[in-house]
Structure 1
Amino acid sequence: MSDQPPYTWWPAGLRRAGAALGVLGVQWYNAARTNIGATATSTVFEPFVTTALAGAAYARPFVRFAGTGTWTLGRAHFAVGDRSAELLAGASPPGEGTYGYTVTRYTNEAHKGNGLYRDLTLELVEVTNAAG
Protein backbone atom coordinates (compact mmCIF):
# COMPACT_ATOMS: atom_id res chain seq x y z
CA MET A 1 0.00 0.00 0.00
CA SER A 2 2.99 2.31 -0.06
CA ASP A 3 2.77 5.32 -2.39
CA GLN A 4 -1.01 5.02 -2.28
CA PRO A 5 -3.56 7.79 -1.91
CA PRO A 6 -5.11 8.51 1.47
CA TYR A 7 -7.75 6.24 2.98
CA THR A 8 -10.99 7.35 4.65
CA TRP A 9 -12.53 5.50 7.62
CA TRP A 10 -15.97 6.55 8.85
CA PRO A 11 -18.32 4.47 11.05
CA ALA A 12 -21.33 6.61 10.13
CA GLY A 13 -23.90 4.21 11.57
CA LEU A 14 -22.27 4.21 15.00
CA ARG A 15 -22.14 8.03 14.99
CA ARG A 16 -25.83 8.25 14.06
CA ALA A 17 -26.67 5.72 16.79
CA GLY A 18 -25.00 7.94 19.40
CA ALA A 19 -22.19 5.50 20.21
CA ALA A 20 -19.56 6.74 22.64
CA LEU A 21 -16.69 6.78 20.15
CA GLY A 22 -13.26 7.50 21.63
CA VAL A 23 -10.82 6.67 18.82
CA LEU A 24 -11.02 5.95 15.08
CA GLY A 25 -8.04 4.12 13.67
CA VAL A 26 -6.56 1.76 11.13
CA GLN A 27 -4.27 -1.13 12.06
CA TRP A 28 -1.75 -1.90 9.30
CA TYR A 29 -0.22 -5.28 8.42
CA ASN A 30 2.54 -6.30 6.00
CA ALA A 31 2.25 -9.02 3.35
CA ALA A 32 3.16 -11.68 5.96
CA ARG A 33 0.16 -10.43 8.01
CA THR A 34 2.40 -9.09 10.75
CA ASN A 35 1.15 -6.02 12.58
CA ILE A 36 3.37 -3.05 11.65
CA GLY A 37 1.51 -0.31 13.51
CA ALA A 38 -1.57 1.86 13.55
CA THR A 39 -2.73 5.34 12.66
CA ALA A 40 -5.51 6.80 14.81
CA THR A 41 -7.31 9.94 15.93
CA SER A 42 -9.50 10.97 18.85
CA THR A 43 -11.37 13.37 16.54
CA VAL A 44 -14.47 11.21 16.10
CA PHE A 45 -17.01 13.71 14.74
CA GLU A 46 -15.70 13.57 11.18
CA PRO A 47 -14.25 10.88 8.89
CA PHE A 48 -10.67 9.85 9.66
CA VAL A 49 -8.35 10.34 6.68
CA THR A 50 -4.97 8.64 6.90
CA THR A 51 -2.18 7.16 4.78
CA ALA A 52 -0.83 3.62 4.88
CA LEU A 53 2.34 2.89 6.82
CA ALA A 54 5.39 1.94 4.75
CA GLY A 55 5.27 -1.77 3.89
CA ALA A 56 1.53 -2.09 4.53
CA ALA A 57 -0.36 -4.68 2.48
CA TYR A 58 -3.51 -5.10 4.62
CA ALA A 59 -5.61 -2.75 6.71
CA ARG A 60 -8.09 -3.24 9.56
CA PRO A 61 -10.16 -0.19 10.50
CA PHE A 62 -11.15 -0.08 14.17
CA VAL A 63 -13.09 1.90 16.76
CA ARG A 64 -12.32 2.28 20.46
CA PHE A 65 -15.27 3.27 22.57
CA ALA A 66 -15.13 5.94 25.27
CA GLY A 67 -18.01 4.38 27.19
CA THR A 68 -20.25 1.38 27.39
CA GLY A 69 -23.60 0.81 25.75
CA THR A 70 -25.46 -1.01 23.03
CA TRP A 71 -25.62 0.58 19.58
CA THR A 72 -26.70 -0.46 16.11
CA LEU A 73 -23.65 -0.80 13.85
CA GLY A 74 -25.24 0.62 10.69
CA ARG A 75 -23.10 1.68 7.75
CA ALA A 76 -19.35 2.03 7.95
CA HIS A 77 -17.09 3.21 5.14
CA PHE A 78 -13.42 2.41 4.48
CA ALA A 79 -12.49 3.84 1.10
CA VAL A 80 -9.48 4.84 -0.96
CA GLY A 81 -9.08 8.61 -1.24
CA ASP A 82 -10.21 11.50 0.91
CA ARG A 83 -13.99 11.03 0.91
CA SER A 84 -14.63 13.03 4.08
CA ALA A 85 -16.55 15.95 2.51
CA GLU A 86 -18.74 13.61 0.42
CA LEU A 87 -19.53 11.35 3.38
CA LEU A 88 -20.36 14.27 5.68
CA ALA A 89 -22.70 15.59 2.97
CA GLY A 90 -24.55 12.23 3.02
CA ALA A 91 -23.20 10.73 -0.22
CA SER A 92 -23.19 6.98 -0.71
CA PRO A 93 -19.74 5.45 -0.37
CA PRO A 94 -17.71 4.56 -3.48
CA GLY A 95 -18.75 1.15 -4.78
CA GLU A 96 -22.33 1.38 -3.54
CA GLY A 97 -24.50 -0.29 -6.18
CA THR A 98 -21.58 -2.05 -7.89
CA TYR A 99 -20.91 -5.78 -8.21
CA GLY A 100 -21.28 -7.95 -5.17
CA TYR A 101 -18.52 -9.55 -3.14
CA THR A 102 -18.02 -13.06 -1.88
CA VAL A 103 -16.36 -13.99 1.40
CA THR A 104 -13.23 -16.08 0.77
CA ARG A 105 -12.00 -16.21 4.37
CA TYR A 106 -13.62 -15.57 7.74
CA THR A 107 -12.27 -15.53 11.30
CA ASN A 108 -13.96 -14.82 14.61
CA GLU A 109 -11.60 -14.99 17.55
CA ALA A 110 -10.96 -13.45 20.95
CA HIS A 111 -8.90 -10.27 20.81
CA LYS A 112 -5.32 -10.96 21.89
CA GLY A 113 -4.71 -9.54 25.34
CA ASN A 114 -8.37 -8.88 26.13
CA GLY A 115 -10.90 -11.69 25.90
CA LEU A 116 -13.79 -9.26 26.37
CA TYR A 117 -13.46 -8.22 22.71
CA ARG A 118 -13.75 -10.15 19.45
CA ASP A 119 -11.82 -9.71 16.21
CA LEU A 120 -13.92 -10.41 13.13
CA THR A 121 -12.12 -10.64 9.81
CA LEU A 122 -13.63 -10.99 6.35
CA GLU A 123 -11.59 -11.36 3.19
CA LEU A 124 -13.65 -10.41 0.15
CA VAL A 125 -13.32 -10.93 -3.58
CA GLU A 126 -15.36 -8.87 -6.02
CA VAL A 127 -17.70 -10.99 -8.15
CA THR A 128 -17.85 -9.48 -11.62
CA ASN A 129 -19.42 -12.41 -13.47
CA ALA A 130 -20.99 -15.32 -11.63
CA ALA A 131 -21.77 -17.08 -14.92
CA GLY A 132 -18.10 -17.93 -15.41
Structure 2
Amino acid sequence: MPGAMREIIDGAASFDRSPDLGVSEFRALDGGVTTWAPPVQPRRLKLQWASMELGDVDHLDRLARRLDAPGPVAVVDPLSRNLLSGAQGAGLGATAKWSVSGSDIILYGGDIGPHVPVTVSVESLHVDGADLYWNHPSWPGFPVTPGMELTWWAYGLMQSTAAISAHRLEWITPTGTVLGTSASPGNGPMVEYVPLFTGFVRPALRFSARGMWDMGASVLAMGNKRPELNTAAQPPAGEGCPSYSITGYSHEASPGDGRYRDIGLELVEVTR
Protein backbone atom coordinates (compact mmCIF):
# COMPACT_ATOMS: atom_id res chain seq x y z
CA MET A 1 0.00 0.00 0.00
CA PRO A 2 1.18 3.61 -0.43
CA GLY A 3 3.33 4.50 2.55
CA ALA A 4 3.99 0.84 3.34
CA MET A 5 5.54 -0.43 0.13
CA ARG A 6 8.09 -3.22 0.21
CA GLU A 7 10.88 -4.04 -2.21
CA ILE A 8 10.74 -7.67 -3.35
CA ILE A 9 14.34 -8.87 -3.25
CA ASP A 10 13.90 -11.98 -5.42
CA GLY A 11 13.84 -11.18 -9.11
CA ALA A 12 10.73 -12.17 -11.03
CA ALA A 13 11.07 -15.07 -13.46
CA SER A 14 8.56 -13.37 -15.79
CA PHE A 15 7.09 -9.88 -15.91
CA ASP A 16 4.33 -9.04 -18.39
CA ARG A 17 3.10 -5.45 -18.29
CA SER A 18 1.22 -5.27 -21.58
CA PRO A 19 -1.80 -2.92 -21.73
CA ASP A 20 -5.24 -4.45 -22.11
CA LEU A 21 -6.29 -3.19 -25.55
CA GLY A 22 -9.74 -4.82 -25.34
CA VAL A 23 -10.28 -4.66 -29.11
CA SER A 24 -13.29 -6.58 -30.46
CA GLU A 25 -13.66 -7.60 -34.09
CA PHE A 26 -16.96 -8.12 -35.93
CA ARG A 27 -17.16 -9.75 -39.37
CA ALA A 28 -20.22 -9.17 -41.56
CA LEU A 29 -21.57 -11.76 -43.99
CA ASP A 30 -20.38 -9.60 -46.91
CA GLY A 31 -16.80 -9.81 -45.60
CA GLY A 32 -16.63 -6.37 -44.01
CA VAL A 33 -14.74 -6.06 -40.73
CA THR A 34 -15.62 -3.66 -37.90
CA THR A 35 -13.42 -3.19 -34.85
CA TRP A 36 -14.27 -1.59 -31.51
CA ALA A 37 -11.86 -0.48 -28.79
CA PRO A 38 -12.71 0.94 -25.35
CA PRO A 39 -11.70 4.56 -24.74
CA VAL A 40 -9.36 3.50 -21.90
CA GLN A 41 -6.77 0.72 -22.20
CA PRO A 42 -5.75 -0.19 -18.63
CA ARG A 43 -2.37 -1.74 -17.99
CA ARG A 44 -2.17 -5.27 -16.64
CA LEU A 45 0.76 -6.70 -14.70
CA LYS A 46 1.47 -10.41 -14.50
CA LEU A 47 4.45 -11.42 -12.37
CA GLN A 48 5.80 -14.87 -11.61
CA TRP A 49 8.57 -15.78 -9.15
CA ALA A 50 10.27 -19.17 -8.97
CA SER A 51 10.82 -18.72 -5.23
CA MET A 52 10.52 -16.00 -2.59
CA GLU A 53 11.42 -15.31 1.03
CA LEU A 54 8.67 -15.85 3.60
CA GLY A 55 8.47 -12.18 4.65
CA ASP A 56 7.90 -11.04 1.06
CA VAL A 57 5.24 -13.71 0.52
CA ASP A 58 3.46 -12.58 3.70
CA HIS A 59 3.45 -9.00 2.40
CA LEU A 60 1.91 -10.02 -0.94
CA ASP A 61 -0.56 -12.30 0.82
CA ARG A 62 -1.85 -9.48 3.03
CA LEU A 63 -2.23 -7.21 0.01
CA ALA A 64 -4.03 -9.86 -2.05
CA ARG A 65 -6.48 -10.68 0.76
CA ARG A 66 -6.97 -6.98 1.58
CA LEU A 67 -6.29 -7.54 5.27
CA ASP A 68 -5.05 -4.01 5.96
CA ALA A 69 -7.00 -1.88 3.46
CA PRO A 70 -9.37 -2.40 0.53
CA GLY A 71 -6.87 -0.93 -1.95
CA PRO A 72 -5.89 0.11 -4.49
CA VAL A 73 -2.21 -0.79 -4.28
CA ALA A 74 0.88 0.98 -5.60
CA VAL A 75 3.46 -0.70 -7.83
CA VAL A 76 6.67 1.08 -8.74
CA ASP A 77 7.52 -0.61 -12.03
CA PRO A 78 11.27 -1.40 -12.06
CA LEU A 79 11.29 -1.19 -15.87
CA SER A 80 9.57 2.20 -16.09
CA ARG A 81 11.78 4.95 -17.52
CA ASN A 82 9.32 7.73 -16.67
CA LEU A 83 6.81 7.53 -13.80
CA LEU A 84 4.75 10.38 -15.27
CA SER A 85 1.80 9.45 -17.46
CA GLY A 86 2.11 9.63 -21.23
CA ALA A 87 0.24 12.93 -21.59
CA GLN A 88 1.73 14.47 -18.46
CA GLY A 89 5.26 13.50 -19.47
CA ALA A 90 4.69 15.08 -22.88
CA GLY A 91 3.01 18.26 -21.60
CA LEU A 92 -0.32 17.53 -23.33
CA GLY A 93 -4.01 17.35 -22.45
CA ALA A 94 -6.09 18.42 -19.48
CA THR A 95 -4.43 20.90 -17.15
CA ALA A 96 -5.73 19.04 -14.05
CA LYS A 97 -2.51 17.01 -14.22
CA TRP A 98 -0.77 20.07 -12.77
CA SER A 99 -1.49 22.52 -9.96
CA VAL A 100 -0.16 26.00 -9.28
CA SER A 101 0.53 28.31 -6.35
CA GLY A 102 -2.43 30.70 -6.10
CA SER A 103 -3.09 32.78 -9.20
CA ASP A 104 0.58 33.30 -10.04
CA ILE A 105 0.51 30.78 -12.89
CA ILE A 106 -2.16 30.09 -15.52
CA LEU A 107 -2.12 27.00 -17.76
CA TYR A 108 -3.57 27.31 -21.26
CA GLY A 109 -4.56 25.04 -24.11
CA GLY A 110 -4.60 21.59 -22.60
CA ASP A 111 -8.37 21.34 -22.02
CA ILE A 112 -9.22 21.92 -25.69
CA GLY A 113 -8.20 18.38 -26.66
CA PRO A 114 -6.03 15.47 -25.50
CA HIS A 115 -3.22 16.24 -27.94
CA VAL A 116 -3.09 20.00 -27.49
CA PRO A 117 0.18 21.28 -25.94
CA VAL A 118 -0.05 22.98 -22.56
CA THR A 119 1.33 26.50 -22.21
CA VAL A 120 2.58 27.87 -18.89
CA SER A 121 2.02 31.58 -18.23
CA VAL A 122 3.68 33.05 -15.12
CA GLU A 123 1.53 36.10 -14.37
CA SER A 124 3.05 37.29 -11.09
CA LEU A 125 5.62 36.34 -8.46
CA HIS A 126 5.80 36.11 -4.69
CA VAL A 127 9.03 36.96 -2.92
CA ASP A 128 10.30 33.38 -3.44
CA GLY A 129 8.85 32.93 -6.95
CA ALA A 130 5.92 30.98 -8.42
CA ASP A 131 5.52 27.21 -8.12
CA LEU A 132 4.13 24.65 -10.58
CA TYR A 133 3.38 21.08 -9.36
CA TRP A 134 3.02 17.75 -11.22
CA ASN A 135 0.08 15.80 -9.69
CA HIS A 136 -0.57 12.07 -9.39
CA PRO A 137 -4.12 11.12 -10.48
CA SER A 138 -4.90 9.02 -7.36
CA TRP A 139 -2.67 10.02 -4.45
CA PRO A 140 -1.10 13.15 -2.90
CA GLY A 141 2.01 12.39 -4.91
CA PHE A 142 3.91 9.58 -6.60
CA PRO A 143 4.42 6.59 -4.25
CA VAL A 144 8.01 6.12 -3.07
CA THR A 145 9.97 4.45 -0.27
CA PRO A 146 12.72 5.99 1.91
CA GLY A 147 16.15 5.49 0.39
CA MET A 148 14.89 5.33 -3.20
CA GLU A 149 16.92 7.42 -5.67
CA LEU A 150 14.93 9.68 -8.00
CA THR A 151 15.71 11.86 -11.01
CA TRP A 152 13.47 14.82 -11.83
CA TRP A 153 13.81 17.12 -14.86
CA ALA A 154 11.38 19.46 -16.64
CA TYR A 155 13.21 19.12 -19.92
CA GLY A 156 10.66 20.89 -22.14
CA LEU A 157 10.49 24.08 -20.08
CA MET A 158 14.26 24.15 -19.96
CA GLN A 159 14.32 23.88 -23.77
CA SER A 160 11.80 26.75 -23.92
CA THR A 161 14.32 28.87 -21.95
CA ALA A 162 11.82 29.33 -19.11
CA ALA A 163 12.96 31.37 -16.12
CA ILE A 164 13.43 28.38 -13.77
CA SER A 165 15.13 29.14 -10.48
CA ALA A 166 14.92 25.56 -9.12
CA HIS A 167 13.68 22.03 -9.64
CA ARG A 168 11.93 20.90 -6.45
CA LEU A 169 10.75 17.62 -4.88
CA GLU A 170 8.09 17.89 -2.18
CA TRP A 171 8.22 15.02 0.34
CA ILE A 172 4.85 13.89 1.75
CA THR A 173 4.04 11.44 4.56
CA PRO A 174 1.69 8.46 4.00
CA THR A 175 -1.06 10.50 5.69
CA GLY A 176 -0.63 13.45 3.32
CA THR A 177 1.41 15.83 5.51
CA VAL A 178 4.22 17.70 3.77
CA LEU A 179 7.56 16.85 5.40
CA GLY A 180 9.66 19.32 3.46
CA THR A 181 11.08 20.12 0.04
CA SER A 182 14.43 19.54 -1.63
CA ALA A 183 15.56 21.97 -4.31
CA SER A 184 18.21 21.95 -7.01
CA PRO A 185 19.12 25.33 -8.58
CA GLY A 186 19.47 25.54 -12.33
CA ASN A 187 17.93 23.85 -15.35
CA GLY A 188 19.70 20.48 -15.23
CA PRO A 189 18.32 17.17 -13.91
CA MET A 190 17.79 16.91 -10.15
CA VAL A 191 18.83 13.69 -8.38
CA GLU A 192 17.76 13.05 -4.76
CA TYR A 193 17.28 10.21 -2.28
CA VAL A 194 13.86 9.85 -0.61
CA PRO A 195 14.12 10.83 3.09
CA LEU A 196 12.77 8.88 6.05
CA PHE A 197 9.02 8.83 6.81
CA THR A 198 8.14 9.67 3.18
CA GLY A 199 5.28 7.92 1.38
CA PHE A 200 4.87 10.20 -1.66
CA VAL A 201 6.82 12.72 -3.69
CA ARG A 202 5.41 15.60 -5.75
CA PRO A 203 7.75 17.14 -8.35
CA ALA A 204 7.60 20.89 -8.86
CA LEU A 205 9.31 23.88 -10.46
CA ARG A 206 9.90 27.36 -9.17
CA PHE A 207 9.92 30.24 -11.66
CA SER A 208 11.91 33.41 -11.10
CA ALA A 209 10.39 35.72 -13.76
CA ARG A 210 7.16 36.37 -15.59
CA GLY A 211 6.67 34.93 -19.07
CA MET A 212 4.92 32.34 -21.23
CA TRP A 213 6.46 29.04 -22.34
CA ASP A 214 5.49 25.63 -23.76
CA MET A 215 5.27 22.93 -21.10
CA GLY A 216 6.95 20.25 -23.20
CA ALA A 217 8.40 17.01 -21.89
CA SER A 218 9.37 16.13 -18.33
CA VAL A 219 10.62 13.01 -16.57
CA LEU A 220 10.43 11.55 -13.06
CA ALA A 221 12.34 8.28 -12.85
CA MET A 222 13.98 5.90 -10.40
CA GLY A 223 17.75 5.97 -10.16
CA ASN A 224 20.34 8.50 -11.27
CA LYS A 225 19.38 9.26 -14.88
CA ARG A 226 21.37 12.50 -15.05
CA PRO A 227 24.01 11.34 -17.59
CA GLU A 228 21.39 9.70 -19.79
CA LEU A 229 19.11 12.76 -19.81
CA ASN A 230 21.92 15.26 -20.39
CA THR A 231 22.89 13.49 -23.61
CA ALA A 232 19.41 12.50 -24.82
CA ALA A 233 17.64 14.52 -27.50
CA GLN A 234 14.33 13.85 -25.75
CA PRO A 235 13.46 12.32 -22.34
CA PRO A 236 11.71 8.92 -22.34
CA ALA A 237 7.97 8.92 -22.94
CA GLY A 238 5.80 8.79 -19.84
CA GLU A 239 4.70 5.30 -18.82
CA GLY A 240 2.78 6.27 -15.71
CA CYS A 241 2.66 5.04 -12.12
CA PRO A 242 -1.02 4.07 -11.83
CA SER A 243 -2.90 2.55 -8.92
CA TYR A 244 -3.68 -1.15 -9.27
CA SER A 245 -6.16 -3.73 -8.01
CA ILE A 246 -4.93 -7.27 -7.38
CA THR A 247 -7.01 -9.70 -9.47
CA GLY A 248 -5.03 -12.91 -9.01
CA TYR A 249 -2.60 -14.45 -6.52
CA SER A 250 -1.16 -17.94 -6.05
CA HIS A 251 1.79 -19.73 -4.42
CA GLU A 252 3.04 -23.12 -3.33
CA ALA A 253 4.65 -23.66 0.06
CA SER A 254 8.01 -25.36 0.54
CA PRO A 255 8.25 -25.97 4.30
CA GLY A 256 11.63 -27.69 4.06
CA ASP A 257 13.64 -24.51 3.48
CA GLY A 258 11.14 -21.85 4.62
CA ARG A 259 10.62 -20.49 1.10
CA TYR A 260 7.66 -20.41 -1.26
CA ARG A 261 7.63 -21.60 -4.86
CA ASP A 262 5.82 -20.55 -8.03
CA ILE A 263 4.37 -17.29 -6.72
CA GLY A 264 2.03 -15.60 -9.18
CA LEU A 265 0.53 -12.11 -8.97
CA GLU A 266 -1.87 -10.41 -11.39
CA LEU A 267 -2.95 -6.76 -11.22
CA VAL A 268 -5.05 -4.44 -13.35
CA GLU A 269 -4.86 -0.65 -13.45
CA VAL A 270 -7.67 1.15 -11.64
CA THR A 271 -9.21 3.58 -14.15
CA ARG A 272 -11.38 6.61 -13.44
Pick one of 152, 166, 169 that aligns with 1:23: 166
Paired residues for 1:23-42 under 5 Å: 23-42=166-185
Which residue in the other structure is 1:3 paired with?
147
- Greater strand proportion: 1
Within the candidate set 100, 111, 124, 2:242 is matched to: 124
How far the C-alpha of 1:125 sits from its partner, in A, is: 3.2
1:92-131 residue pairs with structure 2 within 5 A?
Answer: 92-93=235-236, 96=237, 124-125=242-243
Is the Cα contact below 8 Å between 2:218 and 2:235 reproduced in 1? no
State the Cα RMSD in Å: 2.4
Q: Distance between the aligned counterparts of 2:164 and 2:235, measured in 1?
A: 22
Runs of 4+ in 1 over 6 A off after TM superposition: none
1:82 corresponds to 2:224: yes
Computing the radius of gyration over CA atoms, which structure comes out larger, 1 or 2?
2
Identity rate, percent:
25
Unaligned runs of 5+ in 2: 1-144, 245-266
* 2:163 equivalent to 1:45: no
In structure 1, give the amino acid aligned to 2:195: L
Provide Cα deviations, 1:2-48, integer angstroms capped at 9, x if missing partner: 132x1001000000011000011100101001101111111x23100
TM-score, normalized by length of structure 1? 0.69
For the 8 Å contact 2:164–2:208, the answer to whether it is kept is yes
Deviation, structure 1 residue 129: 6.1
CA contact (8 A) 2:150 2:223 kept: yes
Task: Rate the CA distance shift 1:65–1:97 in 2: closer, same or farther, 3 A.
Answer: closer
Unaligned runs of 5+ in 1: 102-122
Kept in 1, the 8 Å contact 2:167–2:187? The answer is no
**Paired AA for residue 71 in structure 1:** W
1:52-102, CA deviations, whole angstroms, 9 ceiling, x for partnerless residues?
121111000110001110000000111110001111111643xx385xx5x
8 Å contact 2:155–2:235 — kept in the other structure? no
